[in-house]
Structure 1
Amino acid sequence: MSDKIKILFVDDHQLIIEGIMSYLKDTDGLEITSTNSCDDAYSLVKSSMATDPFHILFTDLSFDVGNKNVTIDGGENLIKALQRDEIPIKLGVITGHSETNRVFNVIRNLNPLAYILKGQCNTAELNFAIQKMMSDQVYYTHEIHEKLMKRALIEIQMDEVAIQILKELPNHTKISNLEGVITKTDGSLVKIRAIESKLAKLRTDLNANNNTDLVLKAKDLGILD
């Protein structure tokens, strides 16, 4: 059994894999394998378990499978499959997906130890992430960490009335039309002055220039779909 840290990179773009691997080529103590297929990655992890198991798997999220006959069609399902089988491997994401809602859902539902943006990573970051993961600690690229912190802060400030207002805004040409639509938790209607006050606070909290910008900011934060 190897005493090196065994890492498997999974990405359907070979040039991306080669670029990422080039950052680690001079790092001692690593044994790196790669594949372009989630199915192959799953098989490699499973077949190595008894003799020389992988310590870490990094996967992209989206894969272009085209008309290929595949069982596992993307990184999220690959992670789910490995977690379902309770395979003792540390899981990380290296991807171009930085949309707040996608990031939030992946981290909340799959709980990867790392989330790295492949267009911005470098040798130092990858080595740091690997060391953190080997110690069972979480590492998120700075941009991802900032998004999650901002999302958490906004969620703390949000209430059901605020969410209703944000969802209804695109459906009405006038703010006055929201009266009679927005309700409190007890079912009573929210008056127009309270709606306008809530909108003003939301624009301040999300640093929005106007109500249209407010909706866009809410979507960017993943508060709205």
Structure 2
Amino acid sequence: MTGRTKILLVDDHQLILEGILSYLKDIDGLEIETANSCDEAFHKIKSSLQENPFHIIFTDLSFDNQYNNRVLDSGESLIKAICKEEIPIKVGVITGHSETNRIFNVIHNLNPLAYILKGKCSTDELTFAIRKMLKDEIYYTHEIHEKLLKRALVEIQMDDIAIQILKELPKHAKIANLEGLIKKEDGSLVKVRSIESKLSKLRADLQVNNNTHLVLKAKELGIVD
């Protein structure tokens, strides 16, 4: 890498920070600082803007909030604050969160340039990610990329009625019991024959043999909780 790249690492677990630092120390041209909370990180970013601004921030998503007076209590809130004030810093996530819904929401709503999983990153991966980010290019860990692809394929097949059915299905012994519970956008009720037809299509789309496996697959893909 040419020139020096100033990076801020944000995590409330010191051992995690030290682990990431151990990978970054082998990359030439980096100036690295750390923060243990989102408030501390935001203060460092703001106070450095005039003289020696950070180029990249890597933040976790979840933080143990031991103090009630914290303003920014998660990586999401930190990223939102950065975006709201239009601070020119490239944002990446290094986290243990690999749940499809969390990944999808963070990437869809906050648009980080990188999403990397703790415990699986390496010097090579971080080097590659930083190079991509400095060029305003996206880098996602392979596992994250795969989950996003699966979710995108399924999103095409999903609509509000399908999600209603998948949420209600585990609560009832018979499909007939769903009649009267599933509603269209106009408020009219979906008949049991239409529910059965929708389930048949969903089983085919998700390549499962029965409704139990259908619900499990939907949870695995983060379509329902």
Provide the TM-score with structure 1 as the length reference: 0.91
Matched, 1:192 2:197: no
Change over 3 Å in CA distance of 1:207–1:119 after alignment to 2: farther
Q: 1:167: how far off?
A: 2.2
3-state SS of the aligned residue for 1:31? Answer: strand
Partner of 2:118 in structure 1?
118
Question: Which stretch of structure 1 is more off in the superposition, 180-189 or 199-208?
Answer: 180-189
Quote how far apart the aligned CAs of 1:185 are.
Answer: 5.2
Equivalent positions of 1:4-23 (< 5 A) are 4-23=4-23
SS state of the match for residue 52, structure 1? Answer: coil
Report the residue type matching 1:167 in the other structure. Answer: K
How much identity, in percent, do the aligned residues show? 71
Larger deviation, residues 61-70 vs 100-109: 61-70
**Corresponding residue for 2:160?**
160
What aligned pairs does 1:53-202 form with structure 2 within 5 A after superposition? Answer: 53-67=53-67, 69-184=69-184, 189-202=189-202
Task: Give the structure 1 partner of residue 30 of structure 2.
Answer: 30
In structure 2, the residue matched to 1:204 is: 204
Which 5+ residue runs of structure 2 have no aligned equivalent? none
| Greater mean alpha carbon deviation, residues 28-37 or residues 84-93 | 28-37
How much has 1:220 moved relative to structure 2? 2.6
> SS in structure 1 opposite 2:12?
coil
Q: Which residue type is aligned with residue 204 of structure 1?
A: A
Deviation of 1:27 after TM superposition, in Å, equals 1.1
Q: Displacement of 1:191 after TM fit?
A: 4.1
Q: 1:178 to 1:7 in 2, by over 3 A?
A: same
Whole-angstrom CA distance in 2 between matches of 1:97 and 1:11: 13
How far apart, in 2, do the equivalents of 1:64 and 1:58 lie?
17
Counterpart code for 1:66: Q
Compute the TM-score of the two structures, normalised by the length of structure 2. 0.91
- Following superposition, the deviation at residue 204 of structure 1 comes to 3.0
Q: Which amino acid aligns with 1:216?
A: L
Give the Å deviation of 1:161: 3.1
How many residues are aligned here?
Answer: 224
Please tell me the residue identity of whatever aligns with 2:168: E
Provide the C-alpha distance between the structure 2 equivalents of 1:30 and 1:150, rounded to a whole number of angstroms. Answer: 35
Query: Distance between the aligned counterparts of 2:158 and 2:146, measured in 1?
Result: 18
Contact residue 26 and residue 123 of structure 2 kept, 8 A: no
- The separation in 2 between residues aligned to 1:112 and 1:86, in whole angstroms, is 14
RMSD after superposition: 2.0
CA displacement at 1:180 relative to structure 2: 4.1
Q: Given the superposition, is the C-alpha separation of residues 93 and 192 from structure 1 closer, same or farther in structure 2, using an over 3 Å criterion?
A: same
**Displacement after TM superposition at 1:183 (Å):** 4.6
Cα pair distance change 1:59/1:166, threshold 3 Å: same
Cα distance in 1 for residues equivalent to 2:75 and 2:160: 33
Q: Point out where structure 1 has 5 or more consecutive residues left out of the alignment.
A: none
Q: Which range moves more in the overlay, 9-18 or 211-220?
A: 211-220
Letter in 1 for 2:148: L
